[in-house]
Structure 1
Amino acid sequence: MISLKPAQLSTESRTRTKRFVFLDNLRIFLTILVIAHHAAQPYGPTGGRWLLFNPERAQILGAFFAVNAGFFMGLFFLISGYFLPASFNRKGASLFLQDRLLRLGIPIVILVSLVIPWVLYQADLPSLSFWQFLSQQYWRMGALEFAHLWFLVHLLVYAVGYTLWRWLRRSQPRPTTQLNPPSHRWIALYALGLAIVTFIIRIHYPIDAWVKILGFIPSEVAHLPQYASLFLIGILAYRHDWLNRMPSRRALLWLGIGLGAATLRYGYTGFGSDALPDLFVGGGWDGRSLLTSLWESCLCVGLCLGLLVLFRDYLNQPSRFQKMLAANAYTTYLIHIFIVIGIQFLVAPYPLHPFLKFVVVTVISTPLCFLLSQGLRQLPFASRVL
């Protein structure tokens, strides 16, 4: 079993409280943003699949989708990578993997095998019984629907990969030198490199094109370079304490770049698709795809770095309400999509503007998800998983 020396564990435990409040607050913010993103699916020009669609669409939600997809799951991966080494160091390889299988594997199995197919069955109501639908259609090889749980599958794969990497390096001494936080030059080089790799990947795998890597890992390949690299950066950030040591002025400058990129996308959509050519595309071998990759890379790097330091500097104080939200953020992520879809079906008959429907679904779903999460976590044995 791989573990740290007691003195090293003591140092980590002393700094953990200082770090986790703003990261918890950021996870709460991202979780709410995920709820809003899925609440908007029937009402905007999305390229993805959904169970229902409004006849009218609010074009501004296209920018909402693009900006969200450009950074928020990447930031989730960065935060997950940041927490990984400390968890591994405390538990050792065996207990670490057991914990990951429990926390990630059980929700995946239950939701993918039973809950998601039940939602699909209720939406379609085929002539088959539910168990016939499961056995004859849903449980066929390659027919499983992971929906938002693809994120958990990736985290589980990364956890196994990290464990293997630590095992391969078990005999090597732990380095004691800390690297300084990345300078503007290195941040810009990372953004440029991410843009180039993303452009190359999207020649064959455009945005919203999903595949199952190795037959079981659901992946939107177009965003994999962002997700994998930010996960690794999260591990480095923990090892070298970058989140605490990153200068505020440096990060806030990049926040300005990210917000500028987001404003550009919203402003471009605001002019109307008929007035201007479509410069933002999901892939292909042309200048527009390269432009989209560059834009998304600047947006991602700017917002990820900037929001981390913004929350560190200004949103790092705990409260009872904050602790309740943070404790329920993971469970809320697991269940939110089912609540959102239910509310969407309830508001579907009403003749409201699509943007107003989006607002209504978001406002109702968000507190309801957190409240239901609080209740679910009180069930017997649920605390070990949720």
Structure 2
Amino acid sequence: MANPQTFPEHAAAGPPVGRLITLDVIRVAVVVMVIVHHAAQPYGPTGGGWPVTDTAQSDWFRPFYTVNSAIGLGLLFLLAGYLVVPACDRKGPRRFLVGRWYRLGVPLLVFAVAVNLPFAWADQGPGSIGDFVGGLYADAWRPLYLHLWFVAHLLLYTAAYVVWRRLAGNPRRAWAAPGHRAIAAYAVALIGVTWILRFRFPVDDWVPLLGLIPAEPAHLPHYVSLFVLGAMANRGHWLSTMSPALGRWWLAVGVAASVAMTAIQMLAPDAWRFNATADGGAGWQSLVRSTLEGLIGVGLAVGLPLLIRDLVHRPLRLVSAMAVTSYVAYILHVYLLVPIQGATTWPDLSPFLKFGIVAVLGVALSFGVAHLSGRVPGLRALLGTTPPR
């Protein structure tokens, strides 16, 4: 059987083993994708900031970043929404929120204060405590600027789900699995909302949500809607009832949009290449980018889970072990990747070779250190892997 500790939220309900296997594979695949995405940051035009820069550069990383951003964290939010429902059912709202704060809030607070704040202070240069505090106030989300924004959003969405559940009287409506028409309507709505938001907030424009939480409005509709759809999918048993043919069709849509995105960014004239005009605004380039990103995100969010469900029928020992430590690997990976990237800036090597070295070491070390952290009581408590009963 699959490791029952992988998704303890499901243990009491006794879900089908096949569903646990599918969730394990999705979780591990997406966390590995995020680590690999960040491993490539120094070697191409990311459009955003990163602590390490390298002279080894290639424009081929541009579509790599764009396609990954269109699907990677969206799948994690989809998975998080799927898992929040049975966890809250089993524990009750109050105990569930306490557990979420312990698992998400404590690592978020500790790493923001003990790790990211010193980085921000060093980046600002010497100055008085008052100047430092004032700078943080003016740029309130900066202490979380690396990757912990995802954890903060997950905590916020979880709290919002519990509040909605209490206000709605603990609804248990089973939403029927969507067909092609419903999925297409969602894709059109997502593309439209995303494009309109980008009139004001282009890609890689970050703002402090609620005065503190880093948020990129250009991708926020994707993340929020997939979290909601994940909760609906759990109630309606979509993972079990959606047809393989529907999954294959939307997987083809996502793959075709990914290929089109790569072709536009790399093979078209400079007027087509994504720049400030395509990253935001009301122009046709921004509409094209928003459309392709929406089709990638929706197509692969539907197609990949169903493909995994239909292909993987038995537990995979390595994947099950990695799934147990995937959350900790996500928290730790940036702090392991950045030193590796910094140590490999001096050799005059191909950016693809450097990327390969950093990616392999980053994945291995992230999951390896995460596994070892489970044997250290103090570190285990800090990372939220042993919530109170």
- TM-score, normalised to structure 1, is 0.89
The share of aligned pairs that are identical, in percent, is: 34
Partner of 2:35: 35
- Runs of 4+ displaced beyond 6 Å: 9-12, 132-135
When structure 1 is superposed on structure 2, of 217-226 and 307-316 the one drifting more is 307-316
Partner of 1:364: 361
Take 1:54 and 1:273, find their aligned partners in 2: how far apart are those partners?
A: 26
Take 1:254 and 1:317, find their aligned partners in 2: how far apart are those partners?
A: 25
SS of the residue aligned with 1:66?
helix
Partner of 1:298: 295
Q: How far did residue 377 of structure 1 move?
A: 1.6
Q: How far did residue 152 of structure 1 move?
A: 0.9
Alignment-mate amino acid for residue 190 of structure 1? Y
Alignment-mate amino acid for residue 320 of structure 1? R
1:326 aligned to which of 307, 323, 348: 323
Alignment-mate amino acid for residue 345 of structure 2? A
Take 1:206 and 1:293, find their aligned partners in 2: how far apart are those partners?
A: 11
Q: How far did residue 115 of structure 1 move?
A: 1.5
Q: How far did residue 136 of structure 1 move?
A: 3.3
Unaligned runs of 5+ in 2: 1-8
Q: Are the counterparts in 1 of residues 42 and 53 from structure 2 also a CA contact under 8 Å?
A: yes
Cα distance per residue 1:177-231 (max 9 Å; x no partner):
x443111111111101100000000000010000012201210011111111111
Take 1:234 and 1:339, find their aligned partners in 2: how far apart are those partners?
A: 30
Unaligned runs of 5+ in 1: 1-8
Alignment-mate amino acid for residue 25 of structure 1? V
Q: Are the counterparts in 2 of residues 121 and 133 from structure 1 also a CA contact under 8 Å?
A: no
When structure 1 is superposed on structure 2, of 228-237 and 348-357 the one drifting more is 348-357
Does residue 151 of the first structure (1) align with residue 147 of the second (2)? no
Does residue 313 of the first structure (1) align with residue 310 of the second (2)? yes
Cα distance per residue 1:211-262 (max 9 Å; x no partner):
0122012100111111111111001000000011110111111001101111
* Distance verdict in 2 for CA 1:173–1:184, change over 3 Å: closer
Take 1:356 and 1:303, find their aligned partners in 2: how far apart are those partners?
A: 28
Alignment-mate amino acid for residue 136 of structure 1? F
Cα distance per residue 1:33-86 (max 9 Å; x no partner):
101111111101111111121224211100000000111111111110000010
* Distance verdict in 2 for CA 1:103–1:51, change over 3 Å: same
Q: How far did residue 383 of structure 1 move?
A: 4.3
Take 2:130 and 2:366, find their aligned partners in 1: how far apart are those partners?
A: 27
1:247 aligned to which of 228, 243, 249: 243
Paired residues, what number?
Answer: 370
Does residue 374 of the first structure (1) align with residue 371 of the second (2)? yes
Partner of 2:96: 96
Q: How far did residue 138 of structure 1 move?
A: 8.8
The 5 Å alignment of 1:99-110 reads 99-110=99-110
When structure 1 is superposed on structure 2, of 140-149 and 367-376 the one drifting more is 140-149
* Distance verdict in 2 for CA 1:57–1:272, change over 3 Å: farther
Q: Are the counterparts in 1 of residues 18 and 309 from structure 2 also a CA contact under 8 Å?
A: no
1:278 aligned to which of 273, 280, 297: 273
- TM-score, normalised to structure 2, is 0.89
Does residue 163 of the first structure (1) align with residue 162 of the second (2)? yes
Question: How large is the Cα RMSD of the aligned pairs?
Answer: 2.4
Cα distance per residue 1:270-308 (max 9 Å; x no partner):
42665x632672110111111111111111111111111
